[in-house]
Amino acid sequence: MNNTFGHRLKVTTFGASHAGEVGIMLEGIPKGIRLTADMFAADLDRRRPSLRGETTRHEADIPTIEGLDTDSRTADTPIRITFRNDNTRTADYSHLASHPRPSHADLVQRRKYGQEYNLAGGGMASGRMTVALVAAGVVAKQIIKDMSFSTRLAEVSGDSNSDHFETIIADVARRGDSVGGVIECRVSGVLPLLGEPFFDSAESVIAHILFSIPAVKGVEFGDGFEGTKRLGSERNDRIIDSEGHTLTNNEGGINGGITNGNDIHLRVAIKPTPSITLAQDTYNFEHKSIEPLTIGGRHDACIARRATVVVEAAVAIALADLYLRTL
Amino acid sequence: MNNTFGHRLKVTTFGASHAGEVGIMLEGIPKGIRLTADMFAADLDRRRPSLRGETTRHEADIPTIEGLDTDSRTADTPIRITFRNDNTRTADYSHLASHPRPSHADLVQRRKYGQEYNLAGGGMASGRMTVALVAAGVVAKQIIKDMSFSTRLAEVSGDSNSDHFETIIADVARRGDSVGGVIECRVSGVLPLLGEPFFDSAESVIAHILFSIPAVKGVEFGDGFEGTKRLGSERNDRIIDSEGHTLTNNEGGINGGITNGNDIHLRVAIKPTPSITLAQDTYNFEHKSIEPLTIGGRHDACIARRATVVVEAAVAIALADLYLRTL
Amino acid sequence: MNNTFGHRLKVTTFGASHAGEVGIMLEGIPKGIRLTADMFAADLDRRRPSLRGETTRHEADIPTIEGLDTDSRTADTPIRITFRNDNTRTADYSHLASHPRPSHADLVQRRKYGQEYNLAGGGMASGRMTVALVAAGVVAKQIIKDMSFSTRLAEVSGDSNSDHFETIIADVARRGDSVGGVIECRVSGVLPLLGEPFFDSAESVIAHILFSIPAVKGVEFGDGFEGTKRLGSERNDRIIDSEGHTLTNNEGGINGGITNGNDIHLRVAIKPTPSITLAQDTYNFEHKSIEPLTIGGRHDACIARRATVVVEAAVAIALADLYLRTL
Amino acid sequence: MNNTFGHRLKVTTFGASHAGEVGIMLEGIPKGIRLTADMFAADLDRRRPSLRGETTRHEADIPTIEGLDTDSRTADTPIRITFRNDNTRTADYSHLASHPRPSHADLVQRRKYGQEYNLAGGGMASGRMTVALVAAGVVAKQIIKDMSFSTRLAEVSGDSNSDHFETIIADVARRGDSVGGVIECRVSGVLPLLGEPFFDSAESVIAHILFSIPAVKGVEFGDGFEGTKRLGSERNDRIIDSEGHTLTNNEGGINGGITNGNDIHLRVAIKPTPSITLAQDTYNFEHKSIEPLTIGGRHDACIARRATVVVEAAVAIALADLYLRTL
């Protein structure tokens, strides 16, 4: 099992949803970056449940940072950021061992890691792990300070009118159902020449970490799938100046795997949360028959809003890694 | 620069489009797998240009395989597969140094690797590199023999009627333009429990290598972007038997990053080829002005058909790597 | 900074001598291995200071093990083993910032990690880190259960009569001085064919981790340096049966980088501890002059006895990694 | 099988002793380093057999370098250096399949890679592979230009009078026997702060690659095994100035795994070549009995002189990798 991402900025997750803690180790951070707990507050807050239809599991999410010097600066040594899990209710998950949730990791995780393994709350595939990713993203953004991120929920349940999002999610939650969404991330101030021409294309590295985020089922850069319908003559991004700026940006800022200095633009498909309270007919392994499953526990009817900052963190980590490779 | 993909099955590319050769080293292949040149013929043939609108650069594409024992079997040592580049016309590319193609890697590669580096034919970001990937895919399929692949061109220029594909491509080529397409890959007989719950989710590993393929701008699994529009209650894949088969397969055979034994299903967006013969107004770095560029050389008006087997090879390599991790 | 050793059994250290804890993460342990705190007691005890002349810093060294299933078994997921640092006296080290100890890491660590970094007790290069290595060694031995280890202090201060060792160390300690020693490790029941013919020869992998142990300045296999004085005809290990047993074992059980099934035999040079209480004339960076340094803190006059189990753990980790590569 | 060494400067070997070629790929070389075939001549020449008692297999050893730009400079892309094997006599090795050489890799390699694998000339564990290492060393020295190397044969058959070396080797060769030796390497102008406090100590990284060289059975730094006999008070290297120079250099220029700016000093034990023409009683696997073996082929009665430049290359590669990690 590989828990590490990155070549120069290496991040390694540890812990699990219902273990004592979750956390992340970061190796390769340049020396002298100041990191204080308050720098993490804004991004951690964006990930916190706040709307109707989002989980009622609340965690304080106070990062403990180890490995800094006495001036709170990185010192060419690894740092570790840890979060306590205080608000777990493992009992909520016990019946899922024999009656696994549809479209959820319950069954495969149980088969892969054994009946005796604590998979409550999703174990290592839990959304809980993403609190650590957000923290690593905060550090990554300090490494690529000139890049700025604008990440937003672009669609909920196929609707792109953001005024409707809260209502849609609240309605769906009331019915015991769930919906998905599309997240858009735009990065400005991107250094050109990040990424490599083959296996570690910028798209490869970014997509790799994005698809680690639970619930992500699609990633596209620039005009992505839509662009396949167009002619080269109308889609090609004409270069308009000596810095390589382009008239359009259908490539999403990446050519041949390498950033071209224009904004990076990407979209991420977030599936409807599999945990719904509506009954679902699915196989019960104890009873050896198909039976209605009603899921308890505390879940999000739509995870896409909370995932926005997670997507942003993932992109930041990937870009920081690619940036450090060019030094 | 990282030219290696994979943890257990490691593949490393070498060479370039207009160098003497391109090739791939494979490490971690199980012992005793028989490999003969004729086993590569069918897949290499699928990648070969054959339709009107596809490049007129023809290469023999005969693999030279080194590192086998005298019985042509793998022996727990690395093997190398090499292809000669015989049909290069480097002169076709000389003017692109100062007048780089829109939406192409010309400009970023030149800036990254220097004016003196031979980037003719796309250098290391060239589609030429994919001949090596196809060869590695043939080996990968021998490692995961029980899995079978069905990969097809599903859309060309937004049209999903395959009877039209040849006509569309020929028409577009005649006009000096280009189009993109969507490739669908379905894998049957997938072993369950491949992939990991976080950074190396099956989607992450597969998407990583897919986005290495030049021209890929989007990857989705199962119902992907379309699935974001649905309700959890209608999209969740109900489990129907003790083996974990599901009634529907909207997840594309992967839950929480781990294969569930159902078919893997994915779609790949291939952008319109950037090299078109229609004139494009784009920046000329020598003249310091925007000027019409007419591209010579030998190019594909649509690379999507030829890329079908490349996508299949990439998926096979990723799955073979994930499979070997479970041994 | 790379804190990870191993390809299949990957061990990653964290923490530091005077941080809250030190520990080690292990990835790649086969499934189903039972691990309980009491299994670590014997080896941890061997590392504990007990003789006159050994440090008076005493730590409880109770391992906390995370990542096991409810039956205390490994589950194809990483585990983490952590030790609290309870008995630290950071003040003892404050003057070493300006007056670094001869033959010690004080100066280079301070220059590499900065004046603000907590290097008390040796920081990450401290012998304290080896408690984590010993714990990882206990796990490694469970992976290679058929191999048995016999590791002993073979020389102290050049004397090979073990009856003298305690007296020599106590005498030297009384004088405020220190001595080194030689550790011999013999492994029986070694599986043949571990190791690789070039970069990851069994010697390379074992020596790599052995030289991580603070105070190790030499490693030799079989007859090592002594063997260079002999003729091939008298030194070559004649094979005497179909299993590959040899009449002599001057190679130390490894040919061409690969174990041959005979016992592995190696020797490790442990230098005299640099921290002595006798005054030493050495440079004071604050006073810009050479001045006598008297070292306080709690140190070992000879670390070689306590290092015996650390050497054994390191060899076990290396062999477990090589063994897992052959599966 | 892992054929790669290094984190930042990654070198990967390919080919085998009696294959068409041997070679090495280098990744991570800084941009703009000029490399021409003549730069390799001096070091390759030092490795060439020239004395009585050294092998009569002569290879032209002309490096073919791929991946440079048109000005023969590195361009942030991998380079490959290849050597043809022209002078092979595979037939010389055929009887060794059933009657393997004592103290040689014959038996373990055959068992590991199979009867059908071409292991003539030592296969991948052959000294032939070191021609590629020497070439990589030449490149490494260009990366760490300020460091200079002084590497010499310090002992032959236990004798340290270099005037005797030629005579000893010639005598031993005449008798059909072999001898070993000790190589000393001293590096001046070493940048301080290379290496890390734990797993990748400078000693670990250097020893790892040194033990890859066939015939190496021991490595020691500074006063190594001899130093274990001394008192701390007489062995500790007093610091004498603000740059960290020391009065003595018993540590061999490395403290706590990190270079301290003084010369690196190390010694390497080279065993007597196992291939001797004197008959040896050893097991014949075909006849199932112990029988005298007489070894043909072309071998060195002492490999230590030719290994001098190989040791130097290995140290240079390790230091270049450690240096690049600090950028």
Query: Tokens standing for C264?
Result: 């592995």
Q: Determine which of A317-326, C73-82, D110-119, D242-251 has the lowest per-residue pLDDT on average.
A: D110-119
Q: What is the pLDDT of residue A154?
A: 98
B50 touches chain D (CB under 8 A): no
When pLDDT is averaged across residues C127-138 and rounded to a whole number, the result is 95
Residues of A in contact with B278 (CB under 8 A): 232-233
Confidence of residue A91 (pLDDT cuts 50, 70, 90): low
When pLDDT is averaged across residues A40-45 and rounded to a whole number, the result is 97
**What is the tens place of the pLDDT at every residue in B167-208?**
999 999 999 999 999 999 999 999 999 999 899 999 999 999
Q: What is the mean pLDDT of chain C?
A: 93
Supply angle C-alpha D263, D268, D270, rounded to 5.
Answer: 155
Q: What is the pLDDT of residue C90?
A: 65
Of D75, D116, D118, the CB nearest to B73: D116
Q: If you search the block for the tokens 């796990």, which residue do you land on?
A: C139
A116 touches chain C (CB under 8 A): yes
Confidence of residue A299 (pLDDT cuts 50, 70, 90): confident
D27 touches chain B (CB under 8 A): yes
Contact A207 B209 (CB under 8 A): no
Contact B19 D66 (CB under 8 A): yes
Closest C-alpha to D109, from B66, B28, C201: C201
Q: What is the pLDDT of residue D92?
A: 67
Q: What is the pLDDT of residue A92?
A: 67
Q: Above 0.95 for ipTM, yes or no? A: yes
Contact C80 A14 (CB under 8 A): yes
Confidence of residue A57 (pLDDT cuts 50, 70, 90): confident
D1 touches chain B (CB under 8 A): yes
Of D70, D75, D124, the CB nearest to B77: D124
* Cα–Cα distance measured from residue C67 to residue C29, given in angstroms and rounded to the nearest whole number: 11
Contact D78 B112 (CB under 8 A): no
Contact D36, D64 (CB under 8 A): no
C-beta atoms surrounding C170 within 10 Å:
15
What proportion of chain C, given as a percentage, has pLDDT over 90?
A: 80
Count how many residues are written for chain B: 327
**What is the tens place of the pLDDT at every residue in D223-236?**
999 999 999 999 99
Of D109, D178, D273, the CB nearest to C197: D109
Maximal CA-CA distance, chain C: 69
Residues of A in contact with B99 (CB under 8 A): none
The stretches of chain C forming alpha helices (DSSP H) are 41-47, 106-113, 130-143, 165-174, 202-210, 224-227, 232-235, 304-325
Could you tell me how far CA A269 lies from the centroid of its own chain? 11
Q: Which site among B116, B126, B129 would you substitute to test the D interface, given the most D Cβ atoms closer than 10 Å to its Cβ?
A: B116
**Structural domain total, chain A:** 1
Of residues B51 and D135, the one with the higher pLDDT is D135
Confidence of residue C82 (pLDDT cuts 50, 70, 90): very high
**DSSP string of B139-158?**
HHHHHTTT-EEEEEEEEETT
Q: Indicate the SS3 state at residue A233.
A: helix
**DSSP string of B217-240?**
EEEEETTHHHHTTSBHHHHS--B-
Confidence of residue C123 (pLDDT cuts 50, 70, 90): low
Nearest CA to CA, how far is C113 from chain A (Å)?
Answer: 5
- Taking each helix axis from N to C terminus, what angle separates B202-210 and A202-210, rounded to the nearest 10 degrees? 170
Q: What is the pLDDT of residue B15?
A: 86
Contact B27 D1 (CB under 8 A): yes
C2 touches chain A (CB under 8 A): yes
When pLDDT is averaged across residues C81-104 and rounded to a whole number, the result is 83
Contact D75 B1 (CB under 8 A): no
Q: Rg of the Cα trace of chain C?
A: 21
* Cα–Cα distance measured from residue B141 to residue B312, given in angstroms and rounded to the nearest whole number: 10
When pLDDT is averaged across residues C241-269 and rounded to a whole number, the result is 97
CATH code, domain with A145: 3.60.150.10
For chain B, residues with pLDDT lower than 70 are 89-93, 119-125
Q: Is the pLDDT of residue C254 over 90?
A: yes
Q: Which of 196-215 (C) contact D at CB < 8 A?
A: 196-201, 203-205, 207-212, 214
Contact A272 B177 (CB under 8 A): no
**What is the tens place of the pLDDT at every residue in D254-299?**
999 999 999 999 999 999 999 999 999 999 999 999 999 998 877 8
Could you tell me how far CA C113 lies from the centroid of its own chain? 23
Residues of A in contact with C3 (CB under 8 A): 27, 78
Report which residue type is found at D203: E
Maximal CA-CA distance, chain B: 69
Report which residue type is found at A47: R
Residues of A in contact with B240 (CB under 8 A): 282-283, 290
**What is the tens place of the pLDDT at every residue in A214-268?**
999 999 999 999 999 999 999 999 999 999 999 999 999 999 999 999 999 999 9
Of residues A292 and B119, the one with the higher pLDDT is A292
Confidence of residue D120 (pLDDT cuts 50, 70, 90): low
C-beta atoms surrounding C13 within 10 Å:
23
Model pTM score: 0.96
Q: Determine which of C54-63, D26-35, D130-139 has the lowest per-residue pLDDT on average.
A: C54-63
- What residue in B sits closest to A303 (Cα-Cα)? B228
Confidence of residue D127 (pLDDT cuts 50, 70, 90): confident
Q: Which site among B5, B10, B12 would you substitute to test the D interface, given the most D Cβ atoms closer than 10 Å to its Cβ?
A: B12
Which residues touch B156 (CB under 8 Å, ≥6 apart)?
B164, B165, B168, B169, B179, B180, B181, B302, B304, B305
D118 touches chain B (CB under 8 A): yes
Contact C10, C71 (CB under 8 A): no
Sheet with A10-15: strands ordered across = A4-5, A10-15, A21-27, A79-84, A64-66
**What is the tens place of the pLDDT at every residue in D169-202?**
999 999 999 999 999 999 999 999 999 989 999 9
* Cα–Cα distance measured from residue B61 to residue C185, given in angstroms and rounded to the nearest whole number: 54
Q: What is the pLDDT of residue A120?
A: 62
* Cα–Cα distance measured from residue A225 to residue A223, given in angstroms and rounded to the nearest whole number: 6
Report which residue type is found at D305: R
Contact A116 C2 (CB under 8 A): no
Contact D231 C103 (CB under 8 A): no
Residues of C in contact with D241 (CB under 8 A): 283
Q: What is the pLDDT of residue B115?
A: 78
Contact A239 B283 (CB under 8 A): yes
Contact C13 D199 (CB under 8 A): yes
Q: What is the mean pLDDT of chain D?
A: 93
* Cα–Cα distance measured from residue D197 to residue D258, given in angstroms and rounded to the nearest whole number: 7
Closest C-alpha to D62, from D22, D120, D33, D16: D22
Contact A75 C117 (CB under 8 A): yes
Helices and strands of chain D, counted as H and E runs: 8, 13
Count how many residues are written for chain C: 327
The DSSP letter of residue D102 is T
Query: Tokens standing for B51?
Result: 């339709």
How are beta strands C10-15 and A254-255 bridged, if at all? Answer: unpaired
DSSP H or E stretch at residue A141: helix A130-143
Q: Indicate the SS3 state at residue C43.
A: helix
Nearest CA to CA, how far is D283 from chain C (Å)?
Answer: 5
How are beta strands D264-270 and D181-188 bridged, if at all? Answer: antiparallel
Contact B140, B316 (CB under 8 A): yes
- What residue in D sits closest to B125 (Cα-Cα)? D77
Confidence of residue C86 (pLDDT cuts 50, 70, 90): confident
B78 touches chain A (CB under 8 A): no
Q: If you search the block for the tokens 């828990």, which residue do you land on?
A: A3
**What is the tens place of the pLDDT at every residue in B97-150?**
899 999 999 999 999 988 777 766 566 667 889 999 999 999 999 999 999 999
Closest C-alpha to D112, from B145, C196, A116: C196
Could you tell me how far CA C35 lies from the centroid of its own chain? 22
Of C12, C27, C76, the CB nearest to A113: C76
C-beta atoms surrounding D193 within 10 Å:
20
* Cα–Cα distance measured from residue C225 to residue B205, given in angstroms and rounded to the nearest whole number: 47
The stretches of chain B forming alpha helices (DSSP H) are 41-47, 106-113, 130-143, 165-174, 202-210, 224-227, 232-235, 304-325
Query: Tokens standing for A258?
Result: 């390498």
When pLDDT is averaged across residues A35-40 and rounded to a whole number, the result is 95
Q: Which of 169-198 (A) contact C at CB < 8 A?
A: none
Closest C-alpha to A250, from A221, A272, A275, A273: A221
Beta strands per DSSP E along chain D = 4-5, 10-15, 21-27, 64-66, 79-84, 148-156, 181-188, 216-221, 254-255, 258-259, 264-270, 280-284, 289-293
Residue A74 sits in which domain range?
3-324
* Cα–Cα distance measured from residue D242 to residue D121, given in angstroms and rounded to the nearest whole number: 52
Contact B272 A232 (CB under 8 A): yes
Contact A1 C76 (CB under 8 A): yes
Q: What is the pLDDT of residue A127?
A: 84
